[in-house]
Amino acid sequence: MTRSLGTRNVFSASTIDQIPKQVAGGLMLGDPMAIAVPDLDRTDYLLILGANPVESNGSLCAAPDFPGRLKALRARGGKLVVVDPRRTRTAASADEHLFVRPGTDAYLLLGIVHTLLAEDLTKIDIEVNGLEELRRLAEEFTPQAAARVCGVPAGEIVRLARELAAAPTAAVYSRIGTCTAEFGTVAQWLVDVLNILTGNFDRPGGVMFTRTAAVELFRTGQPYTAGNWHSRVRALPEALGELPVATLADEIETPGEGQVRALITVAGNPVLSAPNGPRLDRAFRDLDFMVCVDPYLLPADPAAGAGPAVGGRDPGAADDDRLRSGGGRRPGHARRDDPRPGAPRGHRDSGLTVRGQGSGGAARRAGRRQRARADAGRHAAARPLRPVAGRPAGQPARCRPGRAGAAA
């Protein structure tokens, strides 16, 4: 679509999600899709930063029954440590929860790196370069200096480093909480640095690289580059063919050559998922044209600037993408979708089907979630509606809340 439109104005949720991890992988390993994930079933020590896999089932590190695997880790004598500003469900289930000041994970990680190098606790077992540059970089980030910024006591930082080094196997894993921060890419790089320094990179019980269950559509075989072009208004660099969605409103509001005047969103609602949603909402109302492609029509959705809304693909297809990108095994799930406008009476949409592998208990839990979503949908439908520009009152078209949409 973007090629046919001849535009480089492509935005998605990736730039407010995992792209810092991919940029770090591209710069460090040459492949932005090379994402090492914890070997959950064999590790002895798991340090999680800014992730809540008990709720999310793992995201970049996806596995069936992630909560059960964390329980199994502790049951076999392993240790689970969570670093997070919030008392998440994952933090509550851990052996230890360390509160960190939001956005300062890179300081904490550098403090751990400093300790490993200063106390000669490293066990590097793969070929690396840049070790001396790393040593110089980490020199000023003593545990005491890191503690003043991140809020984790210096003694705890030193202990974390020693525990990671002493564990028979260990894995450090981080997710969106460490990505959506000022030094998100640095934090993602440091996670892999720690796994390398402790001898747990590409090793059973440490972090390992997955194999896709289907063809790898996202790998080009070309050397990784970024910043191949920049956004018009703020000159922000491109990454993996996308511009930061944080600058989408700038591109719509700022007059001049190349100003965005039309928008296509696919399976997303940037008014809810992108930064500064109210500003985007106002900007969308000034567009000449906007279309939403989505399998859902939710009357209470706030993306009121949309014009026509057209049906999209099977809502479960996002999980198929993960099979091609190495994200992990497809989990069982259930989704509810009200019948499409004009669907035959009694038609059962694919969104009502429980899919994936699971026990009868999993199916029952999925059924309960389906009923909860139905109740939520009925409550949402009772809210006041806002008409869409160019449509009669009572005929709103909305995008489904979710990922920030692709724009043109």
Query: Is 88 a domain residue?
Result: yes
As for how many domains the chain has, the answer is 2
Same domain, 290 and 232: yes
**Tens digits of residue pLDDT in 117-150:** 999 999 999 999 999 999 999 999 999 999 999 9
Query: Is 367 a domain residue?
Result: yes
Binned at pLDDT 50, 70 and 90, residue 395 comes out as very low
Same domain, 198 and 245: no
**Tens digits of residue pLDDT in 173-199:** 999 999 998 899 999 999 999 999 999
Q: Report how far residue 28's alpha carbon sits from residue 187's, in angstroms, rounded to the nearest whole number.
A: 13
Query: Is 392 a domain residue?
Result: no
* Boundary of a domain, candidates 209, 236, 269: 209
Find the range with the poorest average confidence among 117-121, 135-139, 168-172, 391-395. Answer: 391-395
What does 114-137 look like in DSSP terms, one character per residue? HHHHHTT-----S----HHHHHHH
Q: What is the mean pLDDT of the chain?
A: 80
Query: Is 214 a domain residue?
Result: no
Q: What are phi and psi of 158, to 5 degrees?
A: -60, -45
Residue 81 is predicted with a pLDDT of 98
Domain that holds residue 279: 2-11+223-381
**Tens digits of residue pLDDT in 193-248:** 999 999 999 999 999 998 777 666 666 778 889 999 999 999 999 999 999 999 99
Residue 309 is predicted with a pLDDT of 52
Same domain, 184 and 47: yes
**Tens digits of residue pLDDT in 254-266:** 999 999 999 999 9
Task: For tokens 């000449």, name the residue.
Answer: 288
Residue 237 is predicted with a pLDDT of 95
pTM of structure: 0.74
Helix (H, G, I), strand (E, B) or coil at 201: strand
**Amino acid identity, position 346:** G
Residue 93 is predicted with a pLDDT of 95
Same domain, 133 and 227: no
Same domain, 194 and 231: no
Binned at pLDDT 50, 70 and 90, residue 323 comes out as very low
Same domain, 287 and 184: no
Same domain, 74 and 195: yes
Same domain, 126 and 247: no
Query: Is 22 a domain residue?
Result: no
Question: How deeply is 247 buried, as exposed, middle or buried, from its count of CB atoms within 10 A (0-12, 13-18, 19+)?
Answer: buried
Residue 52 is predicted with a pLDDT of 95
Query: Is 322 a domain residue?
Result: yes
Longest pairwise C-alpha distance within the chain: 71
Task: Report the CATH number at residue 70.
Answer: 3.40.228.10
Query: Is 217 a domain residue?
Result: no
Q: Report how far residue 303's alpha carbon sits from residue 272's, in angstroms, rounded to the nearest whole number.
A: 8
* Boundary of a domain, candidates 209, 234, 251: 209
Residue 294 is predicted with a pLDDT of 83
Q: What angle do CA 10, 15, 18 make, to 5 degrees?
A: 130
Q: Report how far residue 368's alpha carbon sits from residue 380's, in angstroms, rounded to the nearest whole number.
A: 18
Q: What are phi and psi of 263, to 5 degrees?
A: -140, 135
Residue 6 is predicted with a pLDDT of 87
Same domain, 38 and 66: yes
Find the range with the poorest average confidence among 67-76, 324-333, 351-360, 361-370. Answer: 351-360
Residue 137 is predicted with a pLDDT of 96
**Model confidence at 399: pLDDT above 60:** no
Distances (CA, A) of 24 to 35, 190, 219, 221, 361: 9, 9, 16, 17, 40
**Tens digits of residue pLDDT in 48-63:** 999 999 999 888 888 8
Query: Is 197 a domain residue?
Result: yes
pLDDT higher at 378 or 107: 107
Residue 364 is predicted with a pLDDT of 47
**Model confidence at 368: pLDDT above 60:** no
* Boundary of a domain, candidates 148, 175, 209: 209
Same domain, 182 and 238: no
**Model confidence at 386: pLDDT above 80:** no
**Model confidence at 334: pLDDT above 60:** no
Binned at pLDDT 50, 70 and 90, residue 5 comes out as confident
Are 21 and 134 a contacting pair, CB within 8 Å?
no
Same domain, 285 and 189: no
Same domain, 205 and 228: no
